Chain A
Amino acid sequence: MIPLSWYLILSAILFAIGVASFLIKRSIITIFMSIELMLNAVNLTFVAFANHWHQVSGQVFVFFVMVVAAAEAAVGLAIVLAVFRTRETLNVDQVNLLKL
């Protein structure tokens, strides 16, 4: 028996670390991975509340979040490939023009 708020606080810690790495990191790929970390923290909240209210819907929503995350990763990594092909860099500070 542990309080539900422990799970929610763990989720808040993971989300905060995700936001921090989104702000601090300079590599495009690592920034994408911090988005995945934030989505995982939200998934933990969904499952914890599904447990609390005894509802299946929370777990079904986790699947939708996973599908959207997978689609986002596929498209985002394709964009990273295209950016690297034209700019020859992965540092976001040097990617500040829409058109070369």
Chain B
Amino acid sequence: MLHTILFLIFAGICVAGALNFLLQRHPVNSALSLIVVMGSLALLFLLLGAEFVAAVQIIVYAGAVMVLFVFVIMLLNAGEEERTRGSRVALFLGVPGLIALFGLLCWTLSASRFQLGQVQIGGYYVPTQELGIALFREFLLPFEITSVLVLIAIMGAVVLARKERP
């Protein structure tokens, strides 16, 4: 019962934030509603027993990535976006395809809901120690490759954002 109430509250906040993200015209409003979505997703991760992932979601996504976005929005002084012809084409071709995709996903999920079973609070809980053991033993090679990827991304960002010398 408690799980149902908590899930419905945070799922409602999530969907409301995402719809607000879609409907707002100003990029700063969109960014702030995306932060709301990420925060309530972190609480849903807590309900699923992934406490470390929830903390990292808040710190990395809502903390670092979104601050970067808001910083760039304010640096570029981005105003409200205007409607153009290209966006109408996307509206009339993209939205029916999107509804088809969403209907297909929901149909597949509801057809297999009896095989998927139930979730309960505390039914499965991952301590951070277990997560660290999995990350640094089983997934050591992907972890190291990811560090190279991040290094390349940092250098690429510095090179791209640098002012061209005349």
CB neighbors of B among A1-44 (8 A): 1-10, 12-21, 23-27, 29-30, 32-34, 36-37, 40, 43-44
Q: Which of A5, A34, A43 contacts B110 (CB 8 A)?
A: A5
Q: State A74–B56 Cα separation when bound (angstroms).
A: 18
Q: Which residues of A contact B135 (CB under 8 A)?
A: 60, 63
CB neighbors of A among B77-113 (8 A): 78, 81-87, 90-91, 94-95, 98, 101-102, 105-106, 109-110, 112-113
A97 interface contact, C-beta 8 A? no
Q: Which of B14, B48, B53, B160 contacts A14 (CB 8 A)?
A: B14
Q: Are A73 and B68 in contact (CB under 8 A)?
A: yes
Given A33-B69, A36-B65, 6 more pairs with CB closer than 8 A? A20-B22, A54-B124, A59-B50, A75-B156, A80-B72, A93-B84
Q: How many A residues face the partner with a CB closer than 8 A?
A: 70
Q: Which of A6, A27, A85 contacts B78 (CB 8 A)?
A: A27
SS of B interface (majority)? helix
Q: Which of A3, A30, A32, A47 contacts B50 (CB 8 A)?
A: A47
Whole-angstrom distance between the Cβ of B16 and the nearest chain A Cβ: 11
Q: Are A78 and B157 in contact (CB under 8 A)?
A: yes
Q: Given that A7-B44, A37-B18, A48-B119 are contacting pairs, would A26 and B78 also be in contact in the complex, using a CB cutoff of 8 Å?
A: no
Interface CB pairs A-B, < 8 A, 21:
A1-B120, A12-B102, A17-B19, A20-B94, A23-B90, A23-B91, A33-B27, A33-B34, A40-B61, A47-B53, A48-B119, A51-B124, A57-B138, A70-B64, A71-B149, A75-B156, A77-B157, A81-B75, A82-B160, A91-B84, A93-B84
